[in-house]
Structure 1
Amino acid sequence: MSSKILPPYPTPVEIIRVLSNAFDTKLNNKTLDDQVSKLDTDYRVIRSLFSDAIEKPLKKYISDKAAQLLAGRLSILISNYLATVGKVALDGISRSHSVQLLAKYYFSNLAAEIVASFVEIIGGPHPVMMVASSDKAVDVTLNWLSSNEKGWNQFLSACSKEQKDRIAAWRKGQDLPSLQSIHLMRSWANESCPENIDWNRVKSLLIIARAIDWFRQYDLGSVAAEEARICLWSDKYSDNFATKAQEQQIACWKKFNNVFNIIGPIQHDLLRTSKKSKDAQRNLRDKLDNARKVLKRIDPEDNTIYWVDLHEARWHVLSGDLEKACKFYKMAFEGCLYRNGEQQKDIINEAVIVAASLKNPDKVFLKKLKNVAITFGYEIPVTSSIQGKKSNKTSEFIEDWEVNLWQSHFGKVFPKDGMFVDAVQPSVSAKIGPGFIDIESVKPDYRYPNRVIKVGETWKKSMPQIVFFTMIKRGGVVKKLLKKGAKLNVLSDSGESALLLALEALNVTEVPLKSLSDSLYKLLTRHEYKNKHKDIINTRTQKKRLLPIISAVESGRLDVVKKIISMGADPNGRGLTDEQSPLNTCLKHIGTIKYPARFLHAQNTLPTTPELLDGNRRHSAGLSGYTLEHQAQCLAEKKNNRLFNSMMERSNKLMIDRMAENMSLDTMHEIAKVLLDAGADPNAEHMSPVKGYTPLMLAAELNEQDLFKAMLNKGGDPFKTYFNPTLKQEMDCQKIAHAWHAQAVLDVLK
């Protein structure tokens, strides 16, 4: 990118570098410098760079609580910024103009919110005074400390002349305090330092003040600070960045007035779904060539050429040539990043269909598309939990079922009627809809007990015999296959093992109701899982993410959970569509049994989160579309359907009744303790029921005193917080317990 003009939006790594300079947390991190100008940085690298460059250094110099609070706010700033990049277009605007817009109408608001919320929690000068242009923020903070921090003046008196001169230079703005010097202030007065000074607050306030003064060294920083002051003074936060951006775009696009009569017909005639005239293919070819020449002349910096690349790609699709189309989608994708708002999503959604539908799907390109979609919040990761060492494998970004899903929608995105008259629509086959199997037509092959069979009438699924006959509950066949030497360490093409399917038969929480027969489970667990049994026991299915240890928890049976753990199950494995841990799953079911009315209310008021949408997609067999937006539309239609709502209400009540009959609170408490003894993490963060929630927080909410104590004994952190978006504040276990009137837990926290 170094040889090209910068896109209007700075990259997230550019933002991280600016913040690390402002807070003086920047380490000698070559990765930061290497990644700063990349437009498709791995979303996980962005997170790790933020942690290394900001969060970890802050924790080194100030208290964990203050560092978590400040880093949490800055992390939200970056997340919100990337969401804005994905929505608000700035194409046609130069970087120099765009950063002025961002400073005045965007970052000023976010800065005001961060300073106000931080000062409200830890105390300090009025936020307006900290960002006022007439005074240095460090000077304002030191004045406030002299008036409000007991012992501060005594501390200053005990400082040496050199130290007093240094503070005076900070006050005058002649020098900015370094993070290191702020950290070492406590040692300046040695034995004379008063003990009652709240050094965590002192250091935190000075670090915030230092960052404000760093920004105000620059014209853009001064503009942002002044706008932040106005926001704080009026207590009104401006939300007109998008409007201002659009106004600036209109002004910048005036130079393109002469080409609108060229662009318009191309855009109209290359609609994917419209019927094409006989001469459309040749005529549009000429128009595209002409448009490219004109835009090259008017826009030599190629800021808008991605538009031609996109329509060139579409022209090749409608001509039936997916290989050439994919080349131009790559160019359009690279050209639109960090400039074109919502159309970035449209280009990604169109490109994944074509890249997946090639004879050999272009998984490298699909990985790039998915990565950027995650970065801008259009999609969620394949694995959102922090589990194990990350690799650069394609499978950590896209799964086989997703490729199949994209392939299955080719005909909808590019219908046959929209193709050019003489073009042949590419033949793309995929698995879509429910898989129907003629069970009686499948016979066991005892001569080859490890044979893999393909089953299905609507589409084929590969399954080892032992897995298939366990699925259809043919105990006699399974027993005979085992006697003939069938291996148990085998999986179907979607990741199912025979043991998992036997465990799912015991699942008390599933509707339609399961048999709860344990005959197959007992049969299979009596046989030794040799060699790679730990791999099988910790393998989850692809789409629904079923995991043996979680299936065991959902049986409500202590003996089953103990057995699966003894076979090597990871007590911190993640499963189900929202990536639950076994301990969190156990706590959620305790909550359902204990407070069924609360559960029903929660089910009726579930927020439409990306995790909920992805769960719907994973359970819909491709019938609800392929994007998260499609899932939102599908769910909205369901919520307006009286029959569907009635069915869901009945289903939830069936589940509650089933759990009441087959799960006891005492047993679930014992299961939770067994998981803790096996190493389950009470501080593991989850996306559900609330983003950032931990099992310990859930125990606090449910007023589970004994379990709360057990988790504390296993390293549970009651001071860990999550951000409550409704209250706009960090909540720890004590605040959660107060909110839910969990007196028994509050007694523990006294």
Structure 2
Amino acid sequence: MTNKTNNTPYYSVQHLLREFAKGLGTKALAGKKIDDACKSTEINPFHLEALKKSLIHDPLTKCVNIYFADHVLEQFERVTEFYLNLIKSVPLDGVDANLAQQFIDRYFMTFAVAEICSSSLNGMRLTSRDIAWSDKTLMSLVLENLEDSMEWQQFLINSTESQKECLRAWALGPGAELPKLSSITSLGESWQRGNSWGAFKARLITARLWDYFFYRSGYTDLALLRHSSPKQCLETLVSQLLNLLQQGTIKYEATSPLALGLFDLLRLRTPKVADSQGRCFELLDQLRSQQEKLDINNEATYYYHWMNARYLLHSGELLAAVDEYKLAFEQVIYRQGENAEKIIIEAIVTACRCPKPNKRFINRLRRMAVVLKIDLMPPEHSGDEDKAKPQEIESWEIAAFSQYFNAFFTRDSFFPGASYPTNPHDTNGVWMVDETTHQLDIEKPDKVFSVGMEGGLVKQMPQLVYFSMLEDVNAISTLLNSSADVNRLSSRNESAILLAIQSMQANVMPLNSMKEELFQLLSQKPHKRSVLDTLTEKKKLSPLGCAIQTGRIGVVRKLIEMGASVDRRHDTIGETPLFTAIGLIAHHTRPHLNAGHWEKMKYSQMNLQSVRAHSAGLLPHDLEHLKTVMAKQDSDPVFQSIHEVVKKTEIGNILKYTSADGFRQIAKLLIEEGADPNAKHDTAMLGYTPLMLAIELDEAELVEAMIDSKQYQANFQDTCIDSRTGQRVDIERLIREWRASNVAKALS
């Protein structure tokens, strides 16, 4: 495995993916994209997921079936998790990158290949040790094994001469030709329930993967598996890397007391004494001098930049600290996992505190945080499932991290006399409004108010949006008669019509007037589709999404007539309106099941995203600290008592102001207007569709409406994945497990 593009001892995750794509014979399917990705240690996680799909899941689904594709991708993810844990557990400060990579090539990749192939080997009653001692390629062993199958024997009888020649060539031994994936695909029949071709082709692909690594790659070591289990290979690797670390420690021995002294003096949230700033300056100067002599390959210099960043920050030099954090970040990733996590979090919080945050750098940090599994993948709202687009950090997130600065870098931890950076972002926190502050200005119908009391969230709101929030019908009527622009948005992307709809929404706390007059007034004016499809910052509310939550079909129909897109995703997890409408039926038909579902999903990615967006800055934005605070709330009887009252009140309002049949009619309308019944959603079931949700709730009428849809064909061959077990679930199983008797009857 070659890695000429960076000088890190650990390979990047995309490098691992490229190597396994070579083993599977799929690299050419996205050759330039994966090669370009490997030119940098950093990668956008959406792009990484798209590459996994292109190089593993899609081709294996086509060649074998979706179940085998799931399995191999799951095994790759599992091996990647082992790898990331290795990076966090074994720091390689001061270690020569090339030496470390030689050990990773030999031991980790040997472990990884054996681990990924283990299930297929078990199916053939083989172990890694068996194959290592056989002196045969796995392909020749697989072909021998297949000879015991009558179905395979029948295929051999009917196969063409060219197919027989291919099989003979594949079985020749260590120098044999590796089959192309297309050649394996074309063998025999396609997989279907009742035949063995899925198992046959899965074993042939597994053999190709194994033989590529152990007979072609040139860096794995099959002999290791003669005397060691895959787990023991991993343990040996750890031992070898620790030996390299010890050698690095000796090489940089002169810097150790300097590094330890700086770490002690620059501890976070620890008050600084009067002479500590001068002492830190001296130690940093000495450390830099030593590093320049010893470290020509940046094997340990990240630490100097990290400590210098802390020094500059606690001296009040925010922008200079960000520059140093940038250098530390670039040099620490894929070298020292534990410190990489600390540097990423510190750098994000510091960069977000700046008056003009460097969004490009913040996004780089956040993407690597996702890749390294220390933050959540941002939800997609575009509707394009395959789009590998960078997710830009939003102003409310910057404000949340900036507010977190106060707790993360406390005022008393700064050096005496250093200026403490004030919070330049007022777009986070509790929103407190004095309704007597702003008066209607007819002379300037599009005048913008700064709304919010000092110390909390402040929004810039056009008059029309502001008085819509107050449900002041007379003011709205006056402004509309004065030609106020209905397409003007607040600084948080709220439109007047969105707030008018929210005044009728049944699942908000506290309830608003529940009157429709304001909506009727505003909906008479033409609106741009872009405004009707705009999502608010943070909570990602849309007019159509909120309209569905009113339970009023007339409001939903009017918005669609005005031009709202029926499949515009909304809310923090990116639901389609149809999915929302069907899901709300459960409050009426299966309330206990609905409550249990949300309790089980409390610490899921979906719920953590929602908590972040709805916390108004009262909870930490950092993922681990957020989980800690939520766990404390779970054990706080007072908090739980208040939470139960709020939940009970909200559900009571939904039951009072909406009905199951009302949501059914809304769902039918959306289907008639072209809503996609096959749109994928990641909930407790990954890839769950409105069709599946309708089946779960046994809503036969809605399933029939989807079948009758003129725009989409309901996909009854579709599947989803249970996130708790990793098992793929088909429609037939959903009907059976959810006891959807009405749906079963309608489909029979």
Matches within 5 A, 1:562-577: 562-577=557-572
User: Residues 379 and 572 of structure 2 are in contact (CA less than 8 Å); yes or no, is this contact kept in structure 1?
Assistant: no
Say whether residues 1:155 and 2:150 are aligned partners: no
CA distance in 2, matches of 1:615, 1:495: 18
Corresponding residue to 1:595 among 582, 590, 595? 590
User: Residues 535 and 541 of structure 2 are in contact (CA less than 8 Å); yes or no, is this contact kept in structure 1?
Assistant: yes
Who is 1:84 aligned against? 85
1:37-59 CA-to-partner distances (Å, cap 9, x unmatched) read 31122222222222333333334
One-letter code of the match for 1:667? G
Give the TM-score normalised by structure 2. Answer: 0.89
Q: Identify the range of structure 1 (497-506 vs 726-735) with the bigger mean alpha-carbon deviation.
A: 726-735
User: Residues 115 and 127 of structure 1 are in contact (CA less than 8 Å); yes or no, is this contact kept in structure 2?
Assistant: no
Distance 1:223 1:614, change over 3 A: farther
Say whether residues 1:443 and 2:445 are aligned partners: no
CA distance in 2, matches of 1:473, 1:399: 28
CA distance in 1, matches of 2:394, 2:227: 44
Distance 1:647 1:237, change over 3 A: farther
Who is 2:36 aligned against? 34
CA distance in 2, matches of 1:734, 1:249: 55
Distance 1:422 1:511, change over 3 A: closer
Say whether residues 1:17 and 2:18 are aligned partners: yes
Who is 1:191 aligned against? none
Who is 1:356 aligned against? 352
Say whether residues 1:692 and 2:693 are aligned partners: no
Who is 1:132 aligned against? 131
Say whether residues 1:525 and 2:533 are aligned partners: no
Matches within 5 A, 1:134-533: 134=134, 135-150=136-151, 152-159=152-159, 163-173=163-173, 174-186=176-188, 198-217=196-215, 218=217, 221-223=220-222, 226=225, 230=229, 247-248=242-243, 251-255=246-250, 256-385=252-381, 387-388=383-384, 396-431=391-426, 432-458=428-454, 459=456, 460-529=458-527, 533=528
In the comparison of the two structures, how many residue pairs are matched? 731
Who is 1:636 aligned against? 631
CA distance in 1, matches of 2:387, 2:350: 26
User: Residues 182 and 206 of structure 1 are in contact (CA less than 8 Å); yes or no, is this contact kept in structure 2?
Assistant: yes
CA distance in 1, matches of 2:678, 2:73: 17
One-letter code of the match for 2:512? K
Q: Give the drift of 1:418.
A: 1.8
1:254-291 CA-to-partner distances (Å, cap 9, x unmatched) read 41444322211110111232222333222211211211
Who is 1:535 aligned against? 530
User: Residues 10 and 335 of structure 2 are in contact (CA less than 8 Å); yes or no, is this contact kept in structure 1?
Assistant: yes
CA distance in 2, matches of 1:356, 1:183: 51
User: Residues 132 and 225 of structure 1 are in contact (CA less than 8 Å); yes or no, is this contact kept in structure 2?
Assistant: no
CA distance in 2, matches of 1:118, 1:550: 46
One-letter code of the match for 1:602? H
CA distance in 2, matches of 1:701, 1:349: 40
CA distance in 1, matches of 2:323, 2:501: 47
Q: Give the drift of 1:685.
A: 2.1
SS of structure 1 residue aligned to 2:373: coil
Q: Which ranges in structure 2 are unaligned for 5 or more consecutive residues?
A: none
One-letter code of the match for 1:23? L
Say whether residues 1:718 and 2:719 are aligned partners: no
SS of structure 1 residue aligned to 2:127: helix
One-letter code of the match for 1:9? Y
Q: Identify the range of structure 1 (157-166 vs 597-606) with the bigger mean alpha-carbon deviation.
A: 157-166
Who is 2:554 aligned against? 559
Corresponding residue to 2:649 among 640, 654, 665? 654
One-letter code of the match for 1:139? S
One-letter code of the match for 2:298? D
Q: Identify the range of structure 1 (545-554 vs 657-666) with the bigger mean alpha-carbon deviation.
A: 657-666
1:19-64 CA-to-partner distances (Å, cap 9, x unmatched) read 211111122632221221311222222222223333333344444x
Q: Identify the range of structure 1 (93-102 vs 237-246) with the bigger mean alpha-carbon deviation.
A: 237-246
User: Residues 96 and 299 of structure 2 are in contact (CA less than 8 Å); yes or no, is this contact kept in structure 1?
Assistant: no
SS of structure 2 residue aligned to 1:276: coil
Q: Give the drift of 1:388.
A: 4.3
User: Residues 593 and 660 of structure 1 are in contact (CA less than 8 Å); yes or no, is this contact kept in structure 2?
Assistant: yes
CA distance in 1, matches of 2:178, 2:535: 53
One-letter code of the match for 2:276? A
Say whether residues 1:618 and 2:613 are aligned partners: yes
1:630-687 CA-to-partner distances (Å, cap 9, x unmatched) read 2112211111111221222222222332222222222222222222222322222223
SS of structure 2 residue aligned to 1:169: helix
Distance 1:334 1:712, change over 3 A: farther
Distance 1:698 1:514, change over 3 A: same
Q: Identify the range of structure 1 (639-648 vs 599-608) with the bigger mean alpha-carbon deviation.
A: 599-608
Q: Identify the range of structure 1 (549-558 vs 739-748) with the bigger mean alpha-carbon deviation.
A: 739-748
Who is 2:581 aligned against? 586
One-letter code of the match for 2:148? S
SS of structure 1 residue aligned to 2:171: helix
Distance 1:379 1:570, change over 3 A: farther
Distance 1:95 1:677, change over 3 A: farther
1:418-477 CA-to-partner distances (Å, cap 9, x unmatched) read 222232223333324312121012111011111111122224320000100110111111
CA distance in 2, matches of 1:749, 1:294: 76
Q: Identify the range of structure 1 (90-99 vs 275-284) with the bigger mean alpha-carbon deviation.
A: 90-99
Q: Identify the range of structure 1 (396-405 vs 413-422) with the bigger mean alpha-carbon deviation.
A: 413-422
Who is 2:725 aligned against? 727
One-letter code of the match for 2:610? G
CA distance in 2, matches of 1:563, 1:137: 64
Q: Give the drift of 1:597.
A: 1.2
CA distance in 2, matches of 1:127, 1:664: 58
1:221-275 CA-to-partner distances (Å, cap 9, x unmatched) read 44599399947xxxx9999799758855753454144432221111011123222
Distance 1:477 1:131, change over 3 A: farther
Distance 1:469 1:85, change over 3 A: farther
User: Residues 121 and 127 of structure 2 are in contact (CA less than 8 Å); yes or no, is this contact kept in structure 1?
Assistant: no
CA distance in 2, matches of 1:244, 1:110: 17
SS of structure 1 residue aligned to 2:335: coil
User: Residues 469 and 499 of structure 2 are in contact (CA less than 8 Å); yes or no, is this contact kept in structure 1?
Assistant: yes
Task: Report the aligned-residue RMSD.
Answer: 3.4
Q: Give the drift of 1:613.
A: 1.9
SS of structure 1 residue aligned to 2:449: strand
Q: Identify the range of structure 1 (380-389 vs 586-595) with the bigger mean alpha-carbon deviation.
A: 380-389
One-letter code of the match for 1:514? N
Give the TM-score normalised by structure 1. Answer: 0.89
1:684-711 CA-to-partner distances (Å, cap 9, x unmatched) read 2223243332222222322223323433
One-letter code of the match for 1:143? E
Identity of aligned residues (%): 27
User: Residues 90 and 98 of structure 1 are in contact (CA less than 8 Å); yes or no, is this contact kept in structure 2?
Assistant: no
One-letter code of the match for 2:615? S
CA distance in 1, matches of 2:453, 2:627: 30
One-letter code of the match for 1:141? V
Distance 1:345 1:187, change over 3 A: closer
Q: Give the drift of 1:410.
A: 2.9
Q: Which ranges in structure 1 are unaligned for 5 or more consecutive residues?
A: 189-194
User: Residues 734 and 749 of structure 1 are in contact (CA less than 8 Å); yes or no, is this contact kept in structure 2?
Assistant: no
Q: Identify the range of structure 1 (238-247 vs 658-667) with the bigger mean alpha-carbon deviation.
A: 238-247
CA distance in 2, matches of 1:237, 1:572: 51
Distance 1:113 1:564, change over 3 A: farther
Q: Identify the range of structure 1 (654-663 vs 586-595) with the bigger mean alpha-carbon deviation.
A: 654-663
